[in-house]
Structure formats: C-alpha cells, structure tokens
Structure 1
C-alpha cells in the first residue's frame, strides 16, 4: 500500500504539469488567433496566470483574458510614459524601489499619507504605469511583485476615496492576475480599520490572503515581513536598516531610462523620440542612478 501511495505521489508533479499544459492549449484555442501587442502580451506564462486566477477553469479564464485584452487595447497601459504621470509622483506616494525581495520580486512602495492630487483618472494611470514598470524590471523567471505600504501620515481626511481603492483592486485583480505576490500594510493606524472593513469586500479570496498587516510591536508580523526582505535593503520606515529619501528628479531619470526599454520592448521607438525631445515636458537626460540600496 505504501509503495502504491508513494508512486502515485511521485507522479503528481508530472501529471500537474501535463494538466496545466493541456489547459493552456485549451485557453489558446478559446482565445483564438492574436496579433500585434495582444500576441506579445499572451505568453504561456500569461495564460497560466489567468488560469490560476480562475482555478484552471478555461471558460472563466477565457472571459477574464478577453476582458483584459479589450481593456489593454483601449487603455494602452504599455503606451503610458512617465512625463504623462510624473506629477503624481512628486511627493513619493508611489514608486518602484531598486531592491527586490528575497524571491527576486520587484517592489512597489506606497505611501498613501502623501497623496497630492485629486484626479482619480490620472492616479490610476500612474498606478498602472508603475505596475507595468515593476513587471518590466522583473528578473527572468519571476512573475510577481511585492507591495510595501507605509501608513505614516495617513488619516481618513487624506486617504484615497473608496472609489479609488475599489478601482485599484479591480485593475490589479482583473487585469494583472497573479502579479501580486505579497502586500504588507505597515503600521496602519487604528482608524484604518473602518476603511479596511469597506475595502476588503472588494478583494477576492486569493488577493485577501496576500495582504499582511505588520505592527512594529508585534514580533510575529515583523518576523514575517523580514522573511521576505533583507533588513539591509528595507528602508527604516519599514523597520529596516536602509536610509532612503525619495528624490523625484532622480527617480524621473530612472523612469525615462525604463521608458526607453519599454518603448523598445513594445515597438514604440517613434513615440519614445517624442518623449526624449521633451514633448511631454522639459527634457531630463536618462543617466544611470541608484535611488535605494541594491539587493545584496
């Protein structure tokens, strides 16, 4: 009996792989022929993310992916350039760190207490731009990113509207499935509980499980976060040892470099020329910079 169980158990990884490959083939057939950017977007890894998000149900994954392709064709996330959303980043309320977590995932740092604009549409474009940027900077073989959310200065008076939070969750869950690996909410004030009670209902079960609350005086939650991040890279505002001050000008230079990478990737070299010539604002020369400690 033990031998039978053992053999069966050992076969599972191979069977799982074959099962997933079969599902990917089914999804490809269901989606049908693709061209242009849609073809470039729909890699095997992409198909697997959408299937995973819908528990490998091909019909549900097909519907989800079709809606994302329609959204991408109209919203144009890969066409957004830093010049168009730079005003949103002036306070450092949302930016990509230059270190990765222990699993090699890109890290987005969010500081909702530094909200500086009121236009929700542009806030969402800024968010989408940085999600795309985080994906652009993933190492080979890594599909996910991590979020670090610092609640310093946060209050109900300066918090993002529920509408913005709902739209953020909608975009992340429906158009970037399985891209979020973990999200740490660091030291949220007690009053945040009221806001969270509303927002959490927009989260699906998988996303909800990825959201972790960290309190500096709670040893278990601190240890959990440190299991994902090297203390030497983690900024002091998250309990780490790295001293870091957001510099908007330096970050903008880095984003212009990444705009060049993105333009090449998606075939928008002609649009990049408009950006580099300052058609979206004063020219900033893209020079190599480091805005936070590199991962060791």
Structure 2
C-alpha cells in the first residue's frame, strides 16, 4: 500500500512539474514573440499578453510563425475595421434574417451563440460576400466583448434544421472559417452541430479540408435523440435556450 501511495504521489508531482515546465516555456516564448512583433509593428505594444498567447498557441508555440500570423492580423484589422467596429447599417441583409442569437453562459462561463443555418441565404445583392464577412466580424467582436474576466472562448450551437440547397453558401462558410481561424484564433471553445440533415454532409465534405486541426477538435455532431442531454453536459438548464429544453429565451445578436 505504501508503494502504491508513493507511486501516485510521484505521478502527481511529475504531472505538476510537466505543466509548470510547459507554462514556463510558453511564458518565455511569449516574451520573445512580443519583442519580435513590437520591433516590426510598434502598435503591438497596445496588445495584451492574452491575445499574443492565443496566436502563439495557434501556431504550436512556434515564435516565427506566430509572429508572422499576428502581424498579418494587425494589417487585416486596420484595413477591415478602420473605425474599430462594424455598423449595423453595414450588415442589414444578414441581420434581417434573424439567424444568429447570443445569450447565456455555459458551465465554463463561455458565452453561448446560437446560429440557424436554415435562415441563412447567400447575399446576391449589393453587399454580397463582403457584407456577410462584415456580419461575421460584427458577431465575433460582440461575443468577445461579452466574455467575463478570465475567459477567452465561446461556444456555438449551430442548428441546421430545415437547411437546404437555398441556404448553401460555400464561399460564405469558407470566408467565415478563414476569419475565425486567422483573426480570432483560440476563441472557439466548442461548436455543436444539431439537427443536421443528411443533405448538409455534401457541403461539409467541401468545407472540412479547410478546417485546421485545432478547430476540428472542437467540433461535434449531436444526435437528435440525445440533443437535450448532450447540451446539458455543457450548459445548465437555466442558460440553455427554451427550444432545446432549457429556460433561456433567444435574443437576436443586435439586441444582446
């Protein structure tokens, strides 16, 4: 018994030492990355360590790749958000369809986003794909602002009930994916796909190769038979939307 106890303690100490070692390595690389990006773009000094760390983790602690990745993001942000935000008047087409809702927190205090794929229709008008990309950025900016102190991620319920060919928007999906992965890395905590029709899998096969490994690990398809019980694993009943058996009413993102 004494040996068994000792072995458990040894394993615990070993695990703790390993975690501490990783944290020290990450902190050291974070300092080197900061020095690198600040030298190339002085505006980087305004960015906190949490943001830099997300870009560093997204590139598996490779300082050179993470620095290049982050500097590209800064350039994109200056060009895409010259005024610092997206106006609702710039995304009227997408807001009008009432396809995205934002309310509540999951058990890990991550804000919850609910998206209805069957209410998305590709914008073939004046705004086109560019307006949809603005809508995606508007959404991500808003949900990031809702995060409580100490939280960096959010959770998404993507409801595809009623999704059909008229909703299919491969260019839009890939554009949204690129923005999420390239400009908001390590922000997605989990993506739960619910009420998935078989027809959607045709589009999924096209999209899947463009999803990076970090993001793939966060995606799960939920069986209709276990929908409520599966969602309750991550979300308390008081925070779960009413349509899934909870008590939270849906709030359009522009009103959240």
TM-score range, shorter chain: 0.7 to 0.9
* Match in the other structure for 1:286: none
Name the counterpart of 2:249: 244
Q: Aligned-pair distance for 1:82?
A: 2.4
* 2:16 match: 10
* Alpha-carbon offset, residue 214 of structure 1: 0.9
Q: 1:190 aligns with which of 189, 195, 198?
A: 198
Partner of 1:288: none
1:178 paired with 2:186, answer: yes
Aligned twin of 2:161: 152
Match of 1:133 in 2: 142
Q: Per-residue CA shift, 1:105-148, capped at 9, x if unaligned?
A: 11221112112433211011011011000001100000001111
- Tell me which residue corresponds to 2:49: 44
SS state of the match for residue 60, structure 1?
helix
1:101 Cα offset (Å) = 1.1
2: CA distance between counterparts of 1:125 and 1:225?
Answer: 29
Q: What residue in structure 1 maps to residue 216 of structure 2?
A: 208
Gaps of 5+ in 1: 256-296
> Which residue, 127, 152, 158 being the options, matches 1:143?
152
Deviation at 1:184, TM superposition (A): 0.6
Counterpart-to-counterpart distance in 1, 2:45 and 2:92? 29
Q: Secondary structure at the match of 2:157?
A: strand
Q: Give the conservation status (yes or no) of the 8 Å contact 1:232–1:240.
A: no
Write the deviation string for residues 208-249 of structure 1: whole angstroms up to 9, x where unpaired: 1111111221x3x65433211122322243x22336365x6x
SS of residue paired to 2:196: coil
- 1:63 is displaced (CA, Å) by 1.2
Unaligned runs of 5+ in 2: 1-5
Partner of 1:110: helix, strand, or coil? strand
Give the SS at the match of 2:36: helix
In 2, the alpha carbon distance for the partners of 1:181 and 1:158 equals 25
Deviation at 1:197, TM superposition (A): 0.8
SS at match of 1:133: helix
Aligned-partner Cα distance in 2 for 1:199–1:112: 15
Using the alignment, how far apart are the partners of 1:108 and 1:72 within structure 2?
A: 23
**Structure 1 counterpart SS, 2:66:** helix
CA distance in 2, matches of 1:202, 1:100: 29
3-state SS of paired residue (2:164)? coil
1:213-292 aligned at under 5 Å gives the runs 213-217=221-225, 219=226, 222-237=228-243, 239-242=244-247, 244=249, 252=254, 254=255
Instruction: Supply the RMSD in Å over aligned alpha carbons.
Output: 2.3
Instruction: Name the TM-score, length of structure 2 as normaliser.
Output: 0.86
The structure-2 alpha-carbon separation of the partners of 1:59 and 1:155, relative to structure 1 and needing over 3 Å to count, comes to: same
Provide the residue aligned with 2:77 in structure 1. Answer: 72
For 1:99 and 1:190, the matched residues in 2 are separated by 30
TM-score of the superposition, structure 1-length normalised? 0.75
2: CA distance, partners of 1:158 / 1:210: 24
Quote the Cα distance in structure 1 between the aligned partners of 2:215 and 2:240.
Answer: 23
Contact 1:233 1:240 in 2 (8 A): no
